[in-house]
Every structure is written in C-alpha cells, then in structure tokens.
Structure 1
C-alpha cells in the first residue's frame, strides 16, 4: 500500500473528478440554455423540433431533480470516493511489488526525508536546503 499511495490517490481523485464533471455539465446546461441566453434568441431546436422557453426550463428542472434528488450530490461524491477506494484496495490486494524496491536506502526517498520533496534533493545537491 505504501509503495503505490500516489497512484491510489490519483485513482481516487480521478473518480471524484468524473462525479464532479456530471455536476459541472448540469451547471453548464443551465448557463447555456437558460441563464446566459438572450431574451430575443431563437427558440431551441433539436431533431427537427422547436422547444419553447417553458419546455427548456422544464427539461432543466427535471434534469436537476434527477441529479440532485435521485442521486443526491452527497451520495454521488461518496459513491465516487467508495469506487476509488475499491479500485485501490483491489489493486493493493493483487499487486506484489517486491521486485520494485531499490536496494540503496538513500535513493528510495531521493535522499530527503519526504518522498514528495525528492525533487528538491536533486536540485540542491543533497537532502538539505
């Protein structure tokens, strides 16, 4: 688990980003189809049918109700984090990283005490600033 912690964090962040992308798509639909649309704009047309402003508003309200009430935003975020944790746990259970470790203990952390700051050791010429 310790060897792949950065990868696991990336997977969890990616699943959370996908869940948040759904919410951003809903926000973009509201902005483009309702809030930022000029009053004198032509009616929305799709698949050979013209939709009135009331129909567009009704569709946006229905989509919002589906996303917020049926999936609930908190549940959506929790589900994304749970899925990310499941992927991380499955990978950690199946992966054996015995041959991936370096023999030199000084090189495992880049010479510094913190693996996230290993780039600083290479720049400064050692493990100290």
Structure 2
C-alpha cells in the first residue's frame, strides 16, 4: 500500500515532458516567409531604345516637305553677302530638321565608305554602353584576372576613346563630314529665297546634332538604368 501511494505521489509531482518546438517554429517561419522575386542585375535596354526611337520619330515628323528644298522656282542668286547671310539664317530656322538629316546622311555615308573606322566606332560604342552606361555600380568589371572599380573603368574608356579618335582618324572623318554637310546646307540656304510665311513660322534655331543625340541618350539612360549614384 505504501509503495502504491508513493508511486501515485511521484506521478502527480512529475511534470509532463515538453516536445522541442525548434523544428516546428523553423518550418512555420519558412512557410509564412514571403518569397521575394529574384533580382535581375542585367539592365533592360528596351526603354532606352524605345525612348530614343520615339524622340527621333517626333523630331523627324517636324520636317518640311522635301519638294520645298528642290523647288527650282525658289532659287535665285543673292545680290549681296548680307542678303545671303539673311537667307541662310531664315532657311536654317525653317529647314533645320531637313538640314540635320542631310548632315547625318553625309556623316553616315562617310563612315560607310570607311569600314575599318566604322568597325572601331561600333566597338567603342559597345564598350561605353555595356561597360559603363548600362552597367549598375554594384557590378564590378572583371577582366584579365582583375577587378576594376567604377573610376578605373571610366578612365580606361576615356583613354580608349581618345586613342581610337586620333589613331584611326575617326575625329578627322567626323569633323570633315559635319563641315561638308553644313557647307551644303549653307549653300542651299543662300540660294533658296525664303518666303514671307517663314517669318511667322520661325522658332529658336536648334540644329546641334551632338546636343540632340546627347539629350536623347541621357533621357533614355535615365529611363533604362536604376537610380544609383556612381562613386
């Protein structure tokens, strides 16, 4: 009897054993933890090219009819140099998009006639786009068993650009193409008689090809790359 009472007392005083909850809590946390989408460090180039295409299309839509440039009834020799300058200024304002297209065509024809220089220009543009413009700062450049920082990459690209421009005569070719194209537009503008309707349709002249391309590319880069500040 006493042994039976002692066993009952021990049974009452003994606390029930607890099951460890570590595995259960870990499994529960893993199940309820939200799954984040994988980060994609590769830049999407579609916004850049889409914005550039839309900008070029919008600008080219403001061109004047091409038959107005070649209308023989509107050509005459200017009497004085002052009159020729006045004609050029008015025609540059009115036909600025058409003249810009002519200069671009002259530059493109010059590049196509020099495939060696065109190849180096394409390689240079590729290096700038994929090694600096579209590359996020958290992606280092690994080449030749070495990691290059953002500043080093920019410095190498600048030096490479200068070498290609001067060693391959790319700079001289582009400058000569722009000068020839601008000369063609000035000769046309000097002999083209501007009509009075041009005066009411004048706008601030903006025929800078490089400024237009730079603004378009910068806007496209802002739309295509994440807003991360470079060191």
Same fold (TM over 0.5): no
Relative CO higher for 1 or 2, CA cutoff 8 Å, sep ≥ 6?
2
TM-score by length of 1: 0.42
TM-score by length of 2: 0.25
